[in-house]
Structure 1
């Protein structure tokens, strides 16, 4: 079969890919700063024989174009930015990198979400598909996206003219490593990951001495009331059959315990799966912030700065079913299992949505299978190191090979076949 003939080349590059993964893991770079990583990825695409390699797309994005006769254009996407997390894995290739983030703070840096694994898997798939051009026809786009953790990298690449400069894909394919058993594929259909919206709220009081609160207007009290009141949105306003999350991840105010500050800031994150619930939750947050500000006798209206956002990730049902059928044939149905809704978010859907073409997205496991199955049996799945944890580090194998093969299988599902004579089909 075609898939087996293409993936047969994996054995020759497996250790080389493992070395690349260890290198990326040990040298992580924050969102918007991924210059070293981008250079390595661009070099790997050129080495694989891609016709065209674009750099600095939407910042530090890298895109490889491989034209191989008539046929569909298919896009494979991986992200490659890291997080401000201090690594605690104990691995010999653990990161000890520190950097200054986009807000000017010095922070530790770690690939705590597996984007190093994503990028390495795409390098492997790109290499195998380039080496087996006789097995398929069409155009392959290998897209390495920066700044996913800021929910802006995909939009930055699109706004930088990604699809004006390159062939427009008929299908967008992507994947994410997760705390699932290594070697297994997790899947869903329709909305599978939540929309994410972030708002920075500033509440305005009037500072004063902590001993004379009557002479001040306390923004800390306003902020505390906002935090408490926000918890009622999902419990009392979102229909029980729908899903949503509202989290206050940041509350900052004051410099000393006996000084009432002038302002208080909150960082609020919301997650939703449908436009209707998204609009409902956003309106409720704004209503509560303004109402509590007025109730606290604020000296001026609050400021609400809606910043980073990502739409709900929808894995198009028909395209997903076709891709999963190919996965079942290649991996065996026993290695596939359905996933519940994931309340985390991904901005990969921006690519397909900008063109009106289907996106297919899946998860694949990165943890020791026996460890995961034991945790499931004992009802302590939350004890496993998950994405964004200082202890999250996927097993290199079989995780890497599974990720490479999944991308190859998915790509060949949508690229064109080649006639027995060697003449490409349209």
Structure 2
């Protein structure tokens, strides 16, 4: 019996779950692993799943797929669009969507495991497949490591993973060295003094303080970072107040910071803290801002020799020109923790999910940014075919390249 990958994908897409809440998703995964005759462990790192194919002596290859959704209201109009809702860490009821392709990651992993399991007479070694929770929080990989995943399973000789992206379907994007940026999630609480909206002079208004801080933070990249270098300072969330005639006592900002290396990270963090504290002082704040880190993600760095081997293998399998250098992505990932903490090399690549003609038309019209939805967009919707097949085959080819 072969897995119905399209049905699996559409089911997962219709039923996304937030980070560390992926219990139904884990159930779908274990159901399909059982159908393949594979043993598995549930609840690794809270909601993760791990399965192993042991096939004699040889290298240990780890394959990783993340599986959480995002608090996004889907607007694709697909017949299998998500209408799911969930409760976020703040206790708020939110819409949930697979707006980053993790449903496709899981589907491709299941398809690759089916192929690898059925072809054991053609390779030897050990495959450890890791279905990881909570990538979107940057916490799932470390949760699995803290839960002892390296102690209970063979340690990797190489870690492999892939991510769906808005490239033409069939295309593979990978490069040696830094593939994705490092990042930090930062929460800033600005402390003012609340009061009546009719008496602003008796208050220290944290809303004005927050507005000034947001604007000044934009000058870090535009005026303090060498234009030849990469850095991102994004204020993605701002919360203050409950009523129009009440000046609140606090305002909270949530920042996403991204950089290519540890030196740049140290510089940006210092500059962000300087701006935040200076704007609070300029507003006459009587209490220093509270600055806390939500998560820290290292850069995703592809091993050069392993990337060259993978690129050559995919060129042989799919034809010259299939593999392109997509440049460094400013998005971030937590897959690196598996490689870093085990001392294994990493290769992490992208595969396209956009209808090739739609992509070509957008390129010709110069409208890619408008017409091709990116990850985290409410319109993100990969074409099913050949996206599923290429994701399965890419992961299978990669694994076979590093097995014996």
Q: Same fold (TM over 0.5)?
A: yes
SS of structure 1 residue aligned to 2:382: coil
Per-residue CA distance 1:266-325 (angstroms, 9 max, x = gap) = 111101111000111011111111111122111211101111221111111111111000
Q: What is the alpha-carbon distance in structure 1 between the residues aligned to residue 96 and residue 128 of structure 2?
A: 29
More moved, 358-367 vs 214-223: 214-223
Contact 1:81 1:115 in 2 (8 A): yes
Deviation at 1:128, TM superposition (A): 0.8
Q: What is the alpha-carbon distance in structure 2 between the residues aligned to residue 205 and residue 285 of structure 1?
A: 19
SS of structure 2 residue aligned to 1:243: coil
Q: Which of 307, 321, 324 in structure 2 is aligned with 1:334?
A: 321
What is aligned with 1:419? none
Contact 1:48 1:131 in 2 (8 A): no
The answer as to 2:58 corresponding to 1:62 is: no
Per-residue CA distance 1:194-215 (angstroms, 9 max, x = gap) = 1121111111111122232222
Q: What is the alpha-carbon distance in structure 2 between the residues aligned to residue 271 and residue 136 of structure 1?
A: 40
SS of structure 2 residue aligned to 1:88: coil
What is aligned with 1:266? 253
Deviation at 1:259, TM superposition (A): 2.2
Gaps of 5+ in 2: none
What is aligned with 2:341? 354
Q: What is the alpha-carbon distance in structure 1 between the residues aligned to residue 296 and residue 32 of structure 2?
A: 31
Q: How do 1:193-208 residues align onto structure 2 when only pairs under 5 Å count?
A: 193-208=180-195
Q: Which of 17, 21, 27 in structure 1 is aligned with 2:5?
A: 17
Q: How do 1:34-49 residues align onto structure 2 when only pairs under 5 Å count?
A: 34-49=22-37
Contact 1:137 1:415 in 2 (8 A): yes
What is aligned with 2:396? 408
What is aligned with 1:421? none
- TM-score in terms of structure 1 length: 0.92
Q: What is the alpha-carbon distance in structure 1 between the residues aligned to residue 401 and residue 205 of structure 2?
A: 60
What is aligned with 1:96? 83
Per-residue CA distance 1:217-251 (angstroms, 9 max, x = gap) = 11122111211111111122222322000011112
Q: What is the alpha-carbon distance in structure 1 between the residues aligned to residue 380 and residue 345 of structure 2?
A: 31
More moved, 25-34 vs 333-342: 333-342
Q: What is the alpha-carbon distance in structure 2 between the residues aligned to residue 231 and residue 414 of structure 1?
A: 44
Deviation at 1:373, TM superposition (A): 1.1
SS of structure 2 residue aligned to 1:148: coil
Per-residue CA distance 1:82-111 (angstroms, 9 max, x = gap) = 111111112111111112222211111111
Q: What is the alpha-carbon distance in structure 2 between the residues aligned to residue 85 and residue 217 of structure 1?
A: 34
Q: What is the alpha-carbon distance in structure 2 between the residues aligned to residue 315 and residue 138 of structure 1?
A: 22
Q: What is the alpha-carbon distance in structure 2 between the residues aligned to residue 254 and residue 124 of structure 1?
A: 49
Q: What is the alpha-carbon distance in structure 2 between the residues aligned to residue 75 and residue 142 of structure 1?
A: 6
Q: What is the alpha-carbon distance in structure 2 between the residues aligned to residue 261 and residue 93 of structure 1?
A: 42
More moved, 53-62 vs 41-50: 41-50
The answer as to 2:177 corresponding to 1:185 is: no
Deviation at 1:119, TM superposition (A): 0.2
What is aligned with 2:311? 324
Gaps of 5+ in 1: 1-11, 417-426
Q: What is the alpha-carbon distance in structure 2 between the residues aligned to residue 228 and residue 109 of structure 1?
A: 30
Deviation at 1:405, TM superposition (A): 0.3
Contact 1:252 1:265 in 2 (8 A): yes
What is aligned with 1:9? none
CA RMSD of aligned residues (A): 1.3
Q: What is the alpha-carbon distance in structure 2 between the residues aligned to residue 68 and residue 327 of structure 1?
A: 23
SS of structure 1 residue aligned to 2:80: coil
SS of structure 2 residue aligned to 1:299: coil
What is aligned with 2:241? 254
Q: Which of 396, 405, 414 in structure 1 is aligned with 2:384?
A: 396
Deviation at 1:61, TM superposition (A): 0.4
What is aligned with 1:108? 95
Deviation at 1:79, TM superposition (A): 0.6
- TM-score in terms of structure 2 length: 0.97
The answer as to 2:303 corresponding to 1:307 is: no
4+ runs deviating over 4 angstroms? none
- How many residues are matched? 403
Q: What is the alpha-carbon distance in structure 1 between the residues aligned to residue 227 and residue 343 of structure 2?
A: 31
